[in-house]
Chain A
Amino acid sequence: MKSKKTNEQANQSKDKLRRELVDHFREKREPLRHQWVEQMIAKGLLAGLTREEIETESMTIYDTCIACLETGEYDDAQTYAIRMAERGVLQGMTSEQIIGGLLTLRDVYGRSLFERYQHDIEGLSSALDIYEPVANKILSIVALAFVAEREKVVRQQQEAIQELSTPVLQVRDQMLILPIIGVIDTHRARQLTEQLLRTIRTSRAKVVVMDITGVPGVDSKVANHLVQTVDASQLMGATVIVTGISPEIAQTLVTLGVDLTKMNTVGDLQGGIEEADHLLGYKVVRIESSNGFIRKEKV
């Protein structure tokens, strides 16, 4: 019974102290806020912001932090942090600016607590017990919001790159070219194959020239993906010619012992297209009188 009572008492005094802190920060709002802004300016953390922006933003942040301390609810802080991260990342604000700013605010709050309780060590200790977890929580919310925003941007860009990086081009009736540039991983190989198969169906292609000049290197996994792409195209009734296998890649493939006997390979893209022309019965004829224009004829 006794311990319950002391617990209640402790809670009551904690709440009392919390209100005291909130009142203190509310009362000193203007001087503390000015002090904070000045420190940030001195550290060069506010570059690129107008005076008005600084005023409104600093007020909002200050009040949001106090509200967190008062209510113990962080929903507002969360929402605000996400919004700030979105804007911050878009405007090219560094995470250093945001986090540095909040660390400065933390210092300003902390310093004012020291001043208030400088003759009462016990009071200071219990005040810090209340204040510090809140400050840390807010900082972690903001930091996480920033990291999440960055990751979102990176993800979007990755998707954009992937979308752009696998064009399937038709050069003649029934002939497609698939230039592959950059590293192939499982995800990309899959996307590439699916796109190729869809295009084979829609354009009724019979021959595909797959050019891997732009692929920096292959391992057994990538080689396997290439073989799969070739096999799948075969099932759709299209022949695949692989071109642009560099000496290094040729060496790796032979060393790895990848079975490429079924693969139709030609040195370069030009050779590949010539081979494809041959398979489809095209013949490219140069007409002497046409000033270098080349016309193709079906034989």
Chain B
Amino acid sequence: MFVPILKQGDYLIASVQSELSDADLLKLRDDLVSRVGEFRSRGVIVDVTILDVMDSFATRTLRSMAHMIMLRGAKTVIVGIQPEVAFSMVQLGLKLESVATALDLEEGMALLDRQTEGDTRRG
């Protein structure tokens, strides 16, 4: 399933619209990592509100994606993790570790705004 990536100012927003297969996740990762350089974005938001399940592969892919994006010079925020998903993730011992998370898109944008405040690229 194709995940649309929207450019919103200095940020990229990837809004997941349906359950993702492993291949979809890898494609999303590759797309985002390349777009970050293309648009010179400072932040990436991945909205997973729609997901009912986050398995180990999804968690690992998101985590590695965040690290790659960091190496490309941008910050990543995962937003919209549902209560049930959060609970099952900690029960399964899945961790996003250093990846920032926020309640929803709005909070995610605010978080990125704060984190990139001192950014020299800021206009």
Contacts and interface: CB of A to CB of B under 8 A. Distances in A.
Interface in A176-206: 190, 193-194, 197-198, 200-201, 204, 206
Contact of A232 (B79, B89, B104, B111): B89
Interface string B99-111: 0011110011001
B90 A201 contact: no
Nearest to A204: B103
A193 B87 contact: yes
Interface in A236-277: 236-238
B7 interface: no
Interface of A is mostly: helix
B96 interface: yes
A279 to B, nearest CB: 12
B107 A232 contact: no
Given A198-B83, A200-B83, A201-B83, A232 B90 contact: yes
A194 B83 contact: yes
B86 interface: yes
Interface in B11-45: none
Contact of A201 (B89, B95, B96, B103): B103
A235 interface: yes
A197 B103 contact: no
Which range holds the interface residue count of chain B? Answer: 20 to 34
Contacts of A206: 107
A228 interface: yes
Contacts, number: 53
A164 B111 CA distance: 35
Interface in B46-62: none
Interface in B75-89: 79, 81-87, 89
Contacts of A200: 83, 103
A232 B103 contact: no
Given A204-B103, A231-B90, A237 B79 contact: yes
B48 to A, nearest CB: 10
A40 to B, nearest CB: 56
Contacts of B120: none
A234 interface: yes
Among A197, A200, A236, residue most surrounded by chain B Cβ atoms (within 10 Å): A236
Contacts of B81: 235-236
B52 to A, nearest CB: 15
B107 A237 contact: yes
Contacts of A237: 79, 101-103, 107-108, 111
A169 to B, nearest CB: 18
A197 B83 contact: yes
B16 to A, nearest CB: 16
A194 B83 CA distance: 7
Nearest to A202: B83
A234 B101 contact: yes
Contacts of B83: 194, 197-198, 200-201, 232, 236
A228 B91 contact: yes
B84 to A, nearest CB: 8
A238 B103 CA distance: 8
Interface string A218-239: 0000000000110111111110
Interface of A: 190, 193-194, 197-198, 200-201, 204, 206, 228-229, 231-238
Given A204-B103, A228-B87, 18 more contacts: A194-B83, A194-B84, A194-B87, A197-B83, A201-B82, A201-B83, A228-B90, A228-B91, A229-B90, A231-B89, A232-B86, A232-B90, A234-B101, A235-B81, A235-B90, A235-B101, A236-B101, A237-B111
